[in-house]
Structure 1
């Protein structure tokens, strides 16, 4: 059975906020019947006159996909491989490369590589375009076919040709497929700070976050100086797990609300519904975000930010503030339909504008960070408009230069700094952690 989730897009390891849907079907009026008559007339004319024979299933599926594409970027019909992708988001492992991809103007575009996978280790990056698989040109083909080619038996090889914006020529990567095991939470201790890296919000993310805190304390034999919650390149997942993770760091108060079509259609979710108290005991918390931080991840960052429980650091997040509901449609098929918007505790909608960090810190250790195009919700066709209207200056702020961060990747590498944002967060926690701490008061 599919669980409710919150995320960005379909993928090789697919990237949605999704609670269970329960509404009744809208009444079909006379005007609707007239439109359906027109649809059937077009359907019959295509069947009778198209240059080649076409089956009913192809036409119906195309009509459904076209109908949903006219709504917003996140409503879709999933069957076959798409349906399998949807299940992988919450419960499955697979043999493949660890790439999350989408299709843009016929090209396969990388949303993000999954950490500790063949694609990630090879250096494939967000924004890359895959043009050839084993030398075969795939631009203009279907996304399903490309995904099926990239998946396969662990231990087998595949060569990807990649066009990277800013690179002088195409790049080639020969990768060995392996079992991609979804590890939603990883942790480590560095400089006395507990680092909790949350990659996705699957069924165990909340429990694994609690376990990470316990293991960090156990390794140190005491509480750390503070915690870094790394949500970079996290496209989202289950709403319930986003609430559970925020609950780990909050002792009380609202975490998120979702609002449907009607003004009265509001659901609110609160801290202490899953975890009693603040398990971090009021210690400093830094939440790392970037343009790949989306949906469920933005719920966690927004709740911690609005309650002044921690410092959000990095660059503006993706900006997906809509809720999708999964409606089963028979065997191996489901409808993913946008049914609500979600809001942070202060009543802020992240749709389009995303979460703006308290401290903007670009990833200057990445030599491509200025050249590589950044895609967010506001760049997607037919995205939902924020009811509060987002200032254009917010959407363009990534182009601004910050004189505080002028070091080059080469200079940072000489200092042993591979991840500048994480380095800066560690320094910040180090400064905060040496000061006397007061018990957390979530405002």
Structure 2
């Protein structure tokens, strides 16, 4: 193996030397410096193999070097070994194993972009914005994102302990989560108040566009007709670019949906809408929050810029870059950031996010008891009402409805749609 590595390094040097000889003079200096740096890499590699306190695996050492090179570029570029690459392909098809969280790397820790609906992580109470500091008692600091994700994956029905640091909570949160097969149904829908279509997209997989169209068609048939649509993209970490474009196109009849721009102008791409609106122009409200990232921001930005929808909620995550998967020899792959994407107005949301048209923070609603006032019933010798008290209905009831967790942002979206629909009817009259 040592001879193979030595020959590989020597061949690399020869190829680079030939490249330098055929390079214009003004670029020779830069190429020469690159040669020196590669030579330095070879020296370090050889020294580790010879003198490190323990014997090292050459393949793992080179993989770690590749990982370090890609991780130094940005949080989303990484090397996928054959196992991770296979898992990534399964995930985009909508089924994979693990805890059910979308993560990124920030400050050396694993940051939760969002937990996926109906997964072990969501059930355990993991929240968007949480920082995972330890996995089974071992610190995350020093691991690459790929290494951390690999440790979180494992056999179904096995447990993993994670330590979480959460904003506003002083003490670390310890959770034990049981791994499971994560099957993502990316589109779900229901009727709200009998005539409002509510559709939630939890991620953008290969089935999202077809699932969206089928869900909306079923809701319209169930209601006879709907007044409008609430498209819930909250805590949606993104996914496939082509699915984000297809979902946007479902509601737009013309104009640009999104553009991607790489380092070379010739590699820029623009994606335009086709004449088709599955909601026939009816009003749309898009819900977003800090867990809405990437593909979900493309959809929100496109519908917002074309004034096709009102975006309601809080500032989105702000991932405005495009990653390309490049298969490599040995069944692995490289995930590399190759472009930024821009909304139809030409705005990059990278590290900024989508600003909602109407900012509505998630709140908890509670019934405020009015100040106690004297009534007829408080007066001495007051007359009764002439009815059997046992038959009187309880004013307070059992409190079940009041105790339900209410989605304040959804309530505001429903009110907005009803208001728009009301004014639309007046205009027709």
TM-score bin, normalised by smaller chain: 0.7 to 0.9
Return the index of the structure with the highest Cα Rg: 2
Gaps of 5+ in 1: 1-26, 368-412
Number of the residue aligned with 1:213 = 216
The reply on whether 1:52 has 2:54 as its aligned counterpart is yes
Which residue matches 1:16?
A: none
Q: 1:438 to 1:304 in 2, by over 3 A?
A: farther
- SS, match of residue 411 in structure 2: helix
What's the counterpart of residue 342 of structure 1?
A: 341
Contact 1:107/1:130 (<8 A) preserved: yes
Give the whole-Å Cα distance in 2 for the aligned partners of 1:96 and 1:69: 23
CA offsets, 1:262-291, max 9 Å, x none? 23332111111xxx4111111110111112
Distance 1:414 1:165 in 2: 28
- TM-score by length of structure 1 reads 0.74
Q: 1:176 to 1:193 in 2, by over 3 A?
A: same
* 1:246-266 per-position Cα deviation (integer Å, ceiling 9, x unaligned): 011101111111112123332
Contact 1:282/1:437 (8 A) holds in 2:
no
Q: Which has the higher contact order (CA 8 A, sep 6+)?
A: 1
The aligned length equals 363
The TM-score normalised by the length of structure 2 is: 0.76
Question: SS where residue 259 of structure 2 aligns?
Answer: strand
Structure with bigger helix share is: 2
RMSD (CA atoms)? 2.9
Matched, 1:198 2:197: no
Aligned counterparts of 1:88 and 1:240: Cα–Cα separation in 2: 17
Residues 248 and 277 of structure 1 are in contact (CA less than 8 Å); yes or no, is this contact kept in structure 2?
A: yes
**Pair 260,226 (structure 1): closer, same or farther in 2 beyond 3 Å:** same
Matched with 1:371 is none
Do the aligned residues in 1 keep the contact of 2:285 with 2:311 (CA within 8 Å)? Answer: yes
Instruction: Tell me, yes or no, if structure 1 residue 433 matches structure 2 residue 415.
Output: no
Match of 2:231 in 1: 229
The CA distance in 1 between the partners of 2:267 and 2:164, in whole Å, is 46
CA contact (8 A) 1:186 1:197 kept: yes
SS at match of 2:364: coil
Question: Contact 2:323–2:338 at 8 Å: present in 1 too?
Answer: yes
User: Contact conserved, 1:128 with 1:165, CA < 8 A, in 2?
Assistant: yes
8 Å Cα contact 2:94-2:206 kept in structure 1: no
For the residue of structure 1 that corresponds to 2:278, the secondary structure is: coil
2: CA distance between counterparts of 1:78 and 1:203? Answer: 20
CA distance in 1, matches of 2:304, 2:107: 37
Distance 1:338 1:84, change over 3 A: same
Other-structure match for 2:351: 352
